[in-house]
Amino acid sequence: MVTINYRLGPLGFLSLPSAGFGGNYGIQDQLLALQWIQDNIQFFGGNPKKVLLFGQSAGAIDTYVLSTLPQAPSLFSAAAAESSAGQDIATIEEASAFTSKFVEMLNCSTTDGDCIRAASTAQLKQVFQTLQVVTVQSAATLWWNNGFGSDWGPVVDGNIIAAQPSKVGMRVPSILGSNTAEANLFV
């Protein structure tokens, strides 16, 4: 079993083209890790032709999204997504209200990439926690980063994620499941 780390929150998913942020940095991290696994797993006794990508909750969303990308079959042979997989994700346009509000709360302009990059991790965390309280509406609106919810996630950017995953379909054999009462922690 191989576990990976990837950028989260605004460091992983800030999508604001007007300031030079395309988003999906967390997805790019995962793609690089999966390529590393393909290149190196044999040295650890693994088989690169038998890589199962697994994720739960936000990881399930990423697993679902990754399994719809053109490079998926060359990076892993199957996918298992436990809770939260299968729904559409936000486009950059749909996420812009959330990301713009976040940037404004950093006291930056939505076109000033240098100001955003200069923010400390403490500032990013403080603004994210404040924004999270302001934007949570109800459990019924937990469409990840879709202009309604209060979280960061992958977006259809026309580049890394060219189209809605539901329009493309999963490119490897996959299992989708759900944990009992997982959404209770959002209520």
Task: Provide the CB-side half-sphere exposure for 55 (13 A, CA).
Answer: 21
Q: Which residue has the higher pLDDT, 136 or 24?
A: 24
> Residue 146: how many CA atoms within 13 Å on its side-chain side?
11
Q: Is 66 helix (H, G, I), strand (E, B) or coil?
A: helix
How far apart CA 87 and CA 172 sit, in angstroms, is: 17
Q: Which of 2-11, 120-129, 133-142 has the lowest mean pLDDT?
A: 133-142
pLDDT in tens, 168-187: 999 999 999 988 877 676 66
Distances (CA, A) of 67 to 34, 130, 135, 157: 12, 33, 30, 16
Residue 140 has pLDDT above 80, yes or no: no
For range 27-37, the mean pLDDT: 98
Query: Token pair 């026309």 is at which residue?
Result: 158
Structure tokens at 126: 């403080």
